[in-house]
Structure 1
Amino acid sequence: MLRRIFARFSPKLSKAYPMIDHTFDCVVVGAGGSGLRAAMGVAASGYDVACISKLYPSRSHTIAAQGGINAALANCEEDDWRWHVYDTVKGSDWLGDQDAIQYMCQEAPCVVSELESMGLPFLRTKDGFIYQRAFGGQSIHFGGKQARRTCAASDRTGHAMLHTLYG
């Protein structure tokens, strides 16, 4: 259909840029951190996947993320995913999807571990663990003292994440 429309209006254009049909099981739109990770997950499940973006992946907005990734790893002090859930729900003014928030907070330590194994250069403690710092409104014991929950790659966590996921 499109070939006929282009051929009718611009025969030179249709010959210079021939249309090529592609077939995929899944098309992921967007090549930021979420899009790249989604495409990796689909591909790991054995499906043919295309990840399309209007920008080169390192130009996506993920590059602007500086603060880090929150995960209840308890590398620097006691922590629990339930406290992480509480802080995230509270931070959303109780409007966030609480089932999704619970899932995200439970899976966050595994995601950080996965990113680390893929080569994301997180800061380290002197003992070699991922360094966690206080950032934002995170607390321990459901609103107690400030939690050290944020895993970061200096002040360029988004940049490091994109280069880890994109290669």
Structure 2
Amino acid sequence: MTTAYKIQEHKYDMIVVGAGGAGLRATFGLAQKGLSTACLTKVFPTRSHTVAAQGGISAALGNMGEDDWRFHFYDTIKGSDWLGDQDAIEYMCREAIPAIIELEHQGVPFSRTEDGRIYQRPFGGMTTHYGKGIAQRTCAAADRTGHAILHTLYQQSLAHKAQFFIEYFALDLIMDADGACRGVLALDMAEGTLHLFRAQGVVLATGGYGRAYFSATSAHTCTGDGGGMALRAGLAMQDMEFVQFHPTGIYGAGCLITEGVRGEGGILRNSNGER
């Protein structure tokens, strides 16, 4: 005779699934507001795929010359071939400036100019005056920007008493009769036990699904778990056909070569030597 699986229950104000840059920022922000917050992650937080982000983060600080968030806005819309959500792009470009300052204050060791300001490097497609000049807009911590951000946000989350459940694999969302999400069912991969996390809200920050493709620069953890949970719960998803393919990497192995190589002057050629 079989018996039901034992399920251990936990209760928090908020649950965050995923501990990359987005998940850790959400965890830190919720905990900072005084909410009891748990973060579930299937890998140790500083091993999340944000660690592969080397090149940096763009924000129109203007530390290396004239710049404006509106120029950044234009470049991003143009770079999306006018398919991007312009309201979202406007918000991102405008708020990128205080977001970088916030990360600096939290402890991210950004590379500096000789006079102590955050150094900004040039990257492809970045212009001033709506395509007329070249902008240096990307803020970086050497070639380990994602690594630095993960360590900083993880430390800040711990300092604000967030609870981490590491190597817990989220299985499904818990929905109530009204269609509201009230928690997550997860598997403790070390012990094989089931855990039910009840909460007033759930944040999914589970990354992409690059490993659906044969060759990808995504980590092997990028398997679309959050999207699968959302679909099984009957929640709508949008723009899933837009997958970022990094233009430089080692074919087959999936090793990423930073976009910074092109920002520093590297060029791409095909098998005929053509740019």
Stretches of structure 2 that go unaligned for 5 or more consecutive residues are 156-275
1:29-82 residue CA offsets vs partner (Å, 9 max, x unmatched):
100000000111122222211111111111111000011010000111010001
Residue of structure 2 aligned with 1:31, choices 19, 28, 37: 19
Partner residue, 1:57: 45
**TM-score in terms of structure 2 length:** 0.54
Deviations 1:98-157 (A, max 9, x none): 111111111111111111111111111111100111012111001122210000111110
Tell me the residue number matched to 1:165: 153
- Are residue 100 (structure 1) and residue 88 (structure 2) matched? yes
1:133 counterpart residue number: 121
Percent identical pairs in the alignment equals: 62
Q: By percentage of residues, which structure has more strand?
A: 2
Q: TM-score, normalised by structure 1?
A: 0.87
Count residues with an aligned counterpart: 153
Q: 2:10 aligns with which of 7, 22, 25?
A: 22
- Counterparts of 2:34 and 2:124 in 1: how far apart (Å)? 39
Q: Distance in 2 between matches of 1:48 and 1:96?
A: 35
Structure 1 residue runs without a partner (length 5+): 7-13
Comparing both structures, which one devotes a greater share of its residues to helix?
1
Letter in 2 for 1:51: C
SS at match of 2:11: coil
**Superposed CA RMSD:** 1.2
Runs (4+) of structure 1 exceeding 4 A deviation are none
